[in-house]
Amino acid sequence: MEPYERIMRIVQRQPVDRPGIDHYATPEFDLMLKSHLGTDDGEAVLQRIGCDIRRVAGRYVGPPELSGAAGVGAEGRDFLGIVWKPMKNRFATYNEIAHHPLGHVTTVKEVEEYSWPDPDWFDFSHFREEIARLNREQRYCILFFVGGAFETPWYMRGLERFLMDLVETPDIAEAISHHATKFYKARAMRALEAADGAIDMGYSGGDLGTQRGMMLAPDLWRKYIKHNQAQLITAFKEMGLITMYHSCGSIVPVIEDLIEMGLDILDPIQPKAEGMSAEELKSQFGGRISFHGGIDEQELLPRGTPADVSHEVERIISVFGADGGYIVCPAHAIQPDTSPENALAMYDAALAWRF
């Protein structure tokens, strides 16, 4: 079965030969895995582990004083105006926010007048050639990351201030979410046009959960964020794309809302967060949504043995994949305190599984 067909059938919760497989890791871990496998070719690694999904991204061509990679992807001032500073621990370097460009605003007018990024700052002219190359030997599920309506706004405003805005000055919070959504949707439309039908999945996201529950009241999210997030799910679902949404933590109260928007796949399923076990999610939502992730990155992958990992992956597949609808992937980016052997045990258990 080709990767594209496998993912399409998983989304429809139809029988497949084996679970889907996807890969998500920090740059430091990817270097370790390449070294372990004796290659410097990232595509060779993805083929070795059986990854069914390939990601494509635009090339940044905007103002040179800004970075084209939002979030943890690059240090310095990104295209949204957020400043990121590298912070090191004994395993890796992570970029943390050093400046929130909208942290000072007190009116919606200031939000409206902010220098929001232009979709023209991203070039997608390479998409047709790149996707054709990726699909040369077999067709993969091609994913494009769209953006999100909650996480980017708080990056720009500051988390504490943004959460307070939702109660005290919701017009400011909603305006920031609206403008971020407007940009992300416009950029995604450019990407889809350039790909000429070759993109299969629209991936949006924004962490809403903590280990014990949501970081904001579900009703506040529904009132001020949901209609913006829907533009980054429903619009692409209506165009015939697969839709996937990323949120770490416990987000059980709003999963029904995401399904209502047209969500196909929930990611990354943090199994140690409250209410996010495979058994609970499958019993509540398994007939209406598929799952991506669920292999514990908090304890199992960094601290278990390869045998522990294999056993747990097999257990999770037996739950999530019981009647289709599961893509094996870590519950967050594989960190560099995880051994290559444990990561390969995860992927090999999925490759060996037969329904």
Q: The domain spanning residue 244 has which CATH number?
A: 3.20.20.210
- Identify the domain containing residue 289 by its residue range: 1-56+268-355
Is 91 a residue whose pLDDT tops 90? no
**What is the pLDDT at residue 71?**
66
Span 12-56, pLDDT tens digits: 999 999 999 999 999 999 999 999 999 999 999 999 999 999 999
Examine the domain organization and report whether 245 and 338 are in the same domain: no
Span 243-257, pLDDT tens digits: 999 999 999 999 999
Beta-sheet strands, E only, within the chain: 20-21, 53-56, 59-60, 76-77, 83-88, 93-99, 122-123, 141-147, 201-205, 242-246, 265-267, 290-295, 326-330
Is 294 a residue whose pLDDT tops 70? yes
AA identity, residue 106: T
Q: Mean pLDDT for the chain? A: 97
Contact 117, 78 (CB under 8 A): no
Examine the domain organization and report whether 118 and 247 are in the same domain: yes
User: What secondary structure does DSSP assign to 103-127, as a single string?
Assistant: TT--SHHHHHHS----GGGEE-TTH
Cα dist from 105 to 20, 70, 114, 181, 317, whole Å: 45, 21, 10, 19, 48
Residue 260 in domain: no
Of 206, 226, 254, the domain-final residue: 254
Examine the domain organization and report whether 163 and 187 are in the same domain: yes
- Residue 278 is encoded by which pair of tokens? 């495979």
Span 218-228, pLDDT tens digits: 999 999 999 99
Examine the domain organization and report whether 134 and 242 are in the same domain: yes
Contact 268, 276 (CB under 8 A): no
How many domains does one find in the chain?
2
Q: How far is CA 14 from the centre of its chain?
A: 23
- Residue 135 is encoded by which pair of tokens? 């699909």
- Cα–Cα distance for residue pair 295/300, rounded to 1 Å: 8
Q: Which of 325, 261, 327 has the alpha carbon at shortest distance from 294?
A: 327
Residue 10 in domain: yes
Is 69 a residue whose pLDDT tops 80? no
**How many CB atoms are closer than 10 A to CB 226?**
20
Residue 312 in domain: yes
Residue 86 in domain: no
Contact 214, 250 (CB under 8 A): yes
Of 254, 289, 305, the domain-final residue: 254
Examine the domain organization and report whether 117 and 247 are in the same domain: yes
Is 202 a residue whose pLDDT tops 90? yes
Q: What is the mean pLDDT of residues 269-285?
A: 97
Of 222, 254, 286, the domain-final residue: 254
Q: Is 240 left (phi over 0), alpha (psi -120 to 50) or beta?
A: left
